[in-house]
Structure 1
Amino acid sequence: MSARKNQSIFKKITKGLTVGSVITGSTFLHGPPVLALGLTKLFKKSSKVDETNIQITNSWLKVNNWLIDHVLPNTKWDIHVDEQLDLNLQGHYIMICNHQSWVDTTVNQYFGLTRMPLTRFFTKWELIFIPFVGQAFKILGFPMMKRHSKSQIAKNPELKNRDIAEARKACEQLLSQPFTLLNYVEGTRFTPEKHRQQKSPYQYLLKPKAGGLALALNILGDKVDALVDMTIVYPDGVSGYGDFWLGEIPRIAVHLRKIEIPDWILQGSYENDREYRAQFHQWLTQIWQEKDQIIHQMQQRLSSVTTES
């Protein structure tokens, strides 16, 4: 038994070193060209530079996906895309997703690499000061916002308008190229403790936060090809990022559907119209109720597969 345990530990260490070395090497290979090309945009904006940087980034993601397919073959994927959802690499999409683990973003990239444009998400402006990472976010067109606290806005109400103006500018910059703008509507990762603290009415989800999605739809809604709802389920339990790269997540299930954007959403103001805000919350609540039911159905189906096997 001790020999088997030692052998298992050795395999785990070997796999971890292999994956870590490949990702680190790939990052050092792909990162400098992105940063170097990004510096040229200080002097002259160029769509060609943007396209090249996206190609380089996608090449980095291909390495990650190759590792998933060949070094982590024990992870089984269950992916379902509704027929109404027609995805392509030249589209403009807003995506909402439940959030349980840092693995979620890797799942999104794994699915989207060959089906959707590069995924971006809102990030804090302060990340710009993190070496390499912050600059890469900026160069690749991630919307970066200077978010102000409620106390700061209370002292200076003009900051609220400034936040919205910066968000609008950041979103509009995405329109020069295909994009997928991701919003984790819950605002944080799901945990049983957070679920209890919130007294969430949903079985598998935290309460949705409407502000970010409302802002994105208000700015981009009439220009996007689809609002995509991605649901991620880990039927054997949620694990950490390190567990994923060690191949210790047996199964990952993904479901995607298209959400119709009502005309009224494009015609109101979430920030200034109380009636519109209430209607938006009601609309998002309906989506979240459906999503909770989708997760329940996925869990039941995947549980029955385990039982039968």
Structure 2
Amino acid sequence: MRQWAQNLFFMMRLFAPGDLIITLDESCTRGENEIDGEDDNEEDRLERLLSRNKSGEVIGISFPDKLIMMANHQILVDWIYVWFLAYLSKAHGSLKIMLKHSLSLIPIYGTRLEHDKDTVIKNLERAKKRDNPMWLVLFPEGTVISDDTRARSKAFAQKFNMDDYKFALLPRTTGLLLCKDVLGDKVQWLYDLTIGYPDIPAGENPEDVMTMKRIFCDRNGPHKIHIHVRRYRIDTLPSDPVQFTQWLFDRWAEKDKRLIYYNQHGKFPEEPILEDEDELCYRRDRTIKIPIKLQHTVRECFGYWLYFLFYVPLVLAFIKLINITYVAALHHLQ
């Protein structure tokens, strides 16, 4: 799967180039006990999460080996940008995504949870027992925003006397709660991503604007993908289904407010205002800019072929030796 992902990122660089603008919340640099040491500088804690090249550009972000990650679902290729986030942590071979069946060509644990619950639990239990890294990614909204899903979300909100969101759908809690309950004793953190795309006109659904055709055929996809990252200790989250549902609704309300700000200002409220956005590649700041590209294109994308080329001279020499031996034997028989 690592090779498949690396080839995908190579194709993204050719046909859908863009940069991730990543903002790491303060929760991402707190210690395991959520308490900051007095002698531990905030800037140093942040730098320990980042990898830089010789020029000082950020080329990697450190995440735990095992985690659960949730995100809002704006367009059908959201998962690619989340996958690249895993690549920055060298975890792109460990990603599992819980999505609807229409995206079953990517690595998925479950599709329709109400029918696949036992299978999902078995897979989660199996993954929990392994020492291998694991990123389990969920989109609790279940689908992207459309006129139909917006109407259903609004009807559900009215039925339960709730406020509907403007740039998000009401999340479903069953899948996330199940994953938390099964993995909670082995996975320490739940990461919460808020993803925002530029150039979405007011009143338009993101998926209607950023279509697959526009992104990959017209090469006019989102050139800046803004991602706000926050994390929560799983053992501090509510275990009661009703309380957990309310907790998730509260998080989505915060997410919607952040998206409202983003659509008004073109940035999340936590992002700095800079005249030159390229500074984000080098700044020692919570908001960083990383291009969607492989760090070692030839080796990562064509590595297997390079190994094969190494053996070509040996194979040719072996064939030549066989040919010489055959000719000599034939001459001897004559």
The normalised TM-score by structure 2 is 0.57
Higher RCO, Cα 8 Å, sep 6+: 2
User: Aligned in 2, Cα 1:298/1:167: closer, same or farther, shift over 3 Å?
Assistant: same
State the number of aligned residues. Answer: 220
Structure with greater Cα Rg: 2
Q: Which structure shows the bigger proportion of residues in helix conformation? A: 1
Matches of 1:264 and 1:80, distance apart in 2: 23
| Gaps in structure 1 of 5+ consecutive residues | 1-56, 150-162, 269-275
Q: CA deviation at 1:261?
A: 2.9
User: Aligned in 2, Cα 1:90/1:291: closer, same or farther, shift over 3 Å?
Assistant: closer
Matches of 2:73 and 2:147, distance apart in 1: 13
From 131, 143, 147, give the equivalent of 2:109: 143
User: Aligned in 2, Cα 1:165/1:259: closer, same or farther, shift over 3 Å?
Assistant: same
Q: CA deviation at 1:183?
A: 0.9
Matches of 1:172 and 1:212, distance apart in 2: 15
Q: Does 1:172 align with 2:125?
A: yes
Percentage identity across paired residues of the two chains: 25
Matches of 1:125 and 1:68, distance apart in 2: 23
The normalised TM-score by structure 1 is 0.61
Matches of 1:148 and 1:76, distance apart in 2: 37
From 80, 83, 96, give the equivalent of 2:23: 80
Matches of 2:230 and 2:88, distance apart in 1: 17
From 231, 236, 241, give the equivalent of 2:199: 236
From 196, 202, 219, give the equivalent of 2:151: 196
SS in 1 for 2:185: helix
After superposition, give the CA deviation of every residue in 1:179-234 in whole Å (9 maximum; x if it has no partner). 11111101111124421332151111111101000100000122113101111111
Q: Does 1:58 align with 2:2?
A: yes
1:63 aligned partner, one-letter code: N
Q: CA deviation at 1:298?
A: 2.5
SS in 1 for 2:96: strand
Q: How does 1:128-277 map to 2 (within 5 A)?
A: 133=105, 137=107, 142-144=108-110, 164-175=117-128, 176=130, 177-199=132-154, 201-237=164-200, 238=206, 239-245=210-216, 246-249=218-221, 250-263=223-236, 265=238, 268=239, 276-277=240-241
The 10-residue stretch of structure 1 (90-99 or 203-212) with the greater mean CA deviation from structure 2 = 90-99
User: Aligned in 2, Cα 1:185/1:147: closer, same or farther, shift over 3 Å?
Assistant: closer
User: Aligned in 2, Cα 1:63/1:287: closer, same or farther, shift over 3 Å?
Assistant: same
1:121 aligned partner, one-letter code: I
1:259 aligned partner, one-letter code: Y
Matches of 2:27 and 2:170, distance apart in 1: 27
